[in-house]
Amino acid sequence: MSQCIIFSNLPNWIQALAAGVIAALTYRTLTVLKKYAKDTQGIAEASVSQLKNTQMPFLALVQRESWTLENQGFGPAINIVFDFTQAGREPRHITALAPKGLHNIHYFFADALAHPAGVLIQYESLSGLKYSSFLTWNELGEIHTVFEKEIK
């Protein structure tokens, strides 16, 4: 008789077992999907960072026929401030520079070169990130540039 009850309830047992297997598979699927979503978010953030880096300006001092500020980066530089200390702080505002753009600074660079404290050039990209190039030189007149990018 007990055997008859088990066989008569066999469809219910199979249905309960199937529901348990489906629940376990669903949990495993959600776990894997959560990992893929996290990886996809990391890829998206890396892509945005790479895009910003490809549009990043980089201002450097070069000597052509005269001392020139050159944008050697791949993006435009805006809100440029060329700053050095002479008889106090002397910031000079410069127009925006397109990639590979040049701006002649020879007329006030001689004053900056006379001061070993260095020159600070601050600027922004179109995305609003702030950058700076700090220029110092040694007794041989060799320029040393330190580039910094603001981290947001």
In the chain, where the domains are located: 2-53, 57-149
Over residues 19-27, the mean pLDDT reads 93
With cut-offs at 50, 70 and 90, classify the pLDDT of residue 57. Answer: very high
pTM over 0.85: no
Q: How far is CA 1 from the centre of its chain?
A: 75
Of 84, 146, 67, nearest in space to 118 by CA? 84
Match 């088990």 to its residue by tokens.
6
Q: Quick one: pLDDT at residue 36?
A: 92
Q: Is residue 62 predicted with pLDDT exceeding 80?
A: yes
* Mean pLDDT of the chain, nearest integer: 82
CATH fold for domain 57-149: Immunoglobulin-like (2.60.40)
With cut-offs at 50, 70 and 90, classify the pLDDT of residue 138. Answer: confident
